[in-house]
Amino acid sequence: MVLGWAIIGAGMHPHQKLAPAIGITPDAELIAVLSRDQGRADAFAETHGALAGYSKMDDLLADSRIDAVFVASPNASHLGHTTQAAKAGKHVLSEKPMATSVDDALAMVQVCQANGVKLGLGFELRFHPAHLLARDLVSQGKLGRIRLLQAHWGRGERGEPEHQPRSGLRSWWENPTTMGGGSVIMGLGVHVFDLVRYVMGQEITEALAMTDGQTDSQPLEHIASMSLRLVDGTIANVSCGRMLPDTLNNFTVYGTDGRFTGTATVWEARMGAVEVVSETVNQTESFEYDYLANFVAELSDFHAALNEDREPTATGTDGLRSTEINSAVIESAKTGRTIKIEHRTV
């Protein structure tokens, strides 16, 4: 059965990645897109071969060809769009960060449960084969007891010594309310927090952060360094930032019997290489650059979850847990204190 998708949001991410990925995913069809402006909705639909553009959520949700919505609106709009979609019986795949507060994230999980629709999260790093290998190595004990993880996601262009604020339709990225109190933490760090949880199969219990923001004079950070403690005591060092044009975007897992390194795998495109050195596994592998492969895998997984009536690989609860980490990290950056993470019951 073909899955009919609508994208909620007609911005950069849907334009560059989500619509093209839906276009090449087997058994997926882009039915519609939502913009606040009918002209922009129609233009997006024409560019990407969608059957309809809508400027009203109710009109979009009344379109019976739509089975699932990909919520890719500004962060603070994810809750409202998810709530409307769930109440209309549409399945939801939400972009990260799931929400701008833990309460909102919990409400998203609950409204999808109450209305019997699936909720998934757009954590595409879970679909990079390098990270699947890391997860297998950890769960099979091939690296021994894991002691430390180091993971980093940065970006930038040379010749930009100062942050260039986003403007126009993208100016919401500079607003602490629409962003949820974090900038690179919400844009990049949240992916890495989720990757650590996914690879380790454990929750994060404590966070300590140092950033150049979260102050009255600079509410949003451009660089952030975090120490996270997992349930079994393993520590993860995570950093993220902009104005880092030559960033490595590596992911390393150190165990008592070996090491996994993903070189340049922490990026939305599938790319980079892995090296494993250990008592029992020694291997290298490189990945040809593929801009959309992780997104296609994410879309296919969501469709399979519907067909098999199982949870998607990244669930609503995963989104809630990552939001709890975002919130703890932001609070730690503000206060300078280590924050214990309270896990909300779903």
Binding site for ligand NAP (CB under 6 A): 9-14, 35-37, 40, 72-75, 77, 95-96, 122, 124, 169-170, 172, 178, 187, 268
**Smallest separation (angstroms) from ligand NAP to the CB of 222:** 16
**Smallest separation (angstroms) from ligand NAP to the CB of 108:** 13
Q: Which is nearer to ligand NAP, 169 or 223 (CB)?
A: 169
What distance in Å separates the CA atoms of residue 278 and residue 144, rounded to the nearest whole number?
A: 9
Q: What sign does the dihedral 150-286-187-118 (CA atoms) show? A: negative
**Smallest separation (angstroms) from ligand NAP to the CB of 123:** 7
**Smallest separation (angstroms) from ligand NAP to the CB of 307:** 23
Inter-CA distances, 53 with 41, 64, 78, 82, 178, Å: 5, 14, 19, 18, 24
What contacts 331, CB < 8 A, 6 or more positions away? 337, 339
Helix axes 316-335, 190-200, angle to 10 degrees: 120
For residue 193 the two structure tokens come to: 């927090």
For residue 222 the two structure tokens come to: 């451009």
CB 66 within 8 A of CB 84: no
**Smallest separation (angstroms) from ligand NAP to the CB of 211:** 18
Q: Which is nearer to ligand NAP, 170 or 310 (CB)?
A: 170
* Strand arrangement of the beta sheet that strand 28-34 belongs to: 52-54, 28-34, 3-8, 68-71, 91-94, 119-121
**Smallest separation (angstroms) from ligand NAP to the CB of 230:** 23
Q: Which is nearer to ligand NAP, 41 or 86 (CB)?
A: 41
**Smallest separation (angstroms) from ligand NAP to the CB of 73:** 5
Long-range Cβ contact pairs of 214-219 (< 8 A, separation 24 or more): 214/181, 214/182, 214/330, 214/333, 214/334, 215/334, 219/176, 219/181
Residue appearing with tokens 């519907």: 306
Q: Which is nearer to ligand NAP, 67 or 194 (CB)?
A: 194
Q: Which is nearer to ligand NAP, 187 or 255 (CB)?
A: 187
**Smallest separation (angstroms) from ligand NAP to the CB of 189:** 11
What distance in Å separates the CA atoms of residue 55 and residue 69, rounded to the nearest whole number?
A: 15
Q: Which is nearer to ligand NAP, 95 or 221 (CB)?
A: 95
Q: Which is nearer to ligand NAP, 66 or 72 (CB)?
A: 72
Give me the DSSP letters along 13-65: HIIIIIHHHHHHSTTEEEEEEE-SSHHHHHHHHHHHT-SEEESSHHHHHT-TT
Which residue's CB atom is positioned nearest to ligand NAP? 11
Residue appearing with tokens 């403690």: 229
Q: Which is nearer to ligand NAP, 81 or 91 (CB)?
A: 81
**Smallest separation (angstroms) from ligand NAP to the CB of 55:** 8
Q: Which is nearer to ligand NAP, 96 or 197 (CB)?
A: 96
